[in-house]
Copies of this chain bind each other. A is one copy, B any other.
Amino acid sequence: MDNYPNHLNERGEVHMVDVGSKAITERMARAQGVLLASPSICQAVQEGRIPKGDVLAVSRVAGIMAAKRTGEWIPLCHPLPLTATEIVITVQTDRFVVESTVRTTAPTGVEMEALTAVSASLLTLYDMLKAMDRTMVITDILLLEKDGGRSGHFIREGVSHVENRSPDQ
């Protein structure tokens, strides 16, 4: 790992990093995030009392569409021509878990695209359910896996460092 953000130039000013000399390779990233919701909502979705079809489809589409436009939301991201994007949502007892997989063939990776897809997907779920629960929390947005770049294959081990940290505040 470097010890200086490469988005800052020698004057400490932001720039869009030059990736012109990096190899164009196949790259992928997988990310995850969680929407903590009241068990009654999760159960209503699981049991079909809230029709989940459109709710999950709209959340998936929001993630896919946001991934394509990551360079508009994140100021210093390079715009990339994505070759694939997939969003999988699972409903658990007290949470919705969103996982994204994004692929490209480009000189830089799609870590931010995967994370942006997850964020948009979670915010969209939140939006559709917020009239039912105003205390939902979006949490644990993190990189699960990354491949294809100079730094090799990264897989997050057991997501354990999340567990060990104390909750905020």
| Chain A residues proximal to chain B, CB less than 8 Å | 1-9, 12-20, 26, 33-34, 36, 40, 44, 50-51, 53-58, 60-62, 64-69, 71-88, 94-95, 97, 103-107, 111-112, 115-116, 119-120, 123-124, 126-143, 146, 154, 156, 159, 161-163, 165, 167-169
The count of identical subunits is: 6
Can you list 12 pairs linking A and B with CB atoms under 8 Å apart? A1-B133, A5-B50, A5-B55, A9-B86, A16-B82, A16-B85, A57-B61, A65-B72, A68-B72, A76-B124, A111-B130, A135-B143
User: Cβ of A75 and Cβ of B64 under 8 Å apart?
Assistant: yes
Question: With A16-B86, A84-B16, A130-B111 as given contacts, are A168 and B95 in contact (CB-CB < 8 Å)?
Answer: yes
Residue of B nearest to A40 (CB): B3
**Other-chain contact of A154, B15, B107, B134 (Cβ < 8 Å):** B134
Question: With A78-B83, A105-B20 as given contacts, are A2 and B168 in contact (CB-CB < 8 Å)?
Answer: no
* A46 vs B87: C-alpha distance when bound (angstroms): 26
Question: With A15-B64, A20-B105, A143-B134 as given contacts, are A73 and B111 in contact (CB-CB < 8 Å)?
Answer: no
CB distance from A89 to the nearest CB of B (A): 9
**Other-chain contact of A13, B40, B57, B116, B159 (Cβ < 8 Å):** B57
User: Cβ of B168 and Cβ of A1 under 8 Å apart?
Assistant: no
Question: With A64-B14, A107-B83, A123-B116 as given contacts, are A140 and B168 in contact (CB-CB < 8 Å)?
Answer: yes
A-B contacts besides A13-B56, A115-B126, 16 pairs, CB < 8 Å: A3-B40, A5-B129, A7-B128, A9-B86, A15-B84, A62-B75, A74-B120, A74-B123, A78-B81, A83-B107, A134-B154, A135-B156, A137-B140, A140-B168, A162-B168, A165-B167
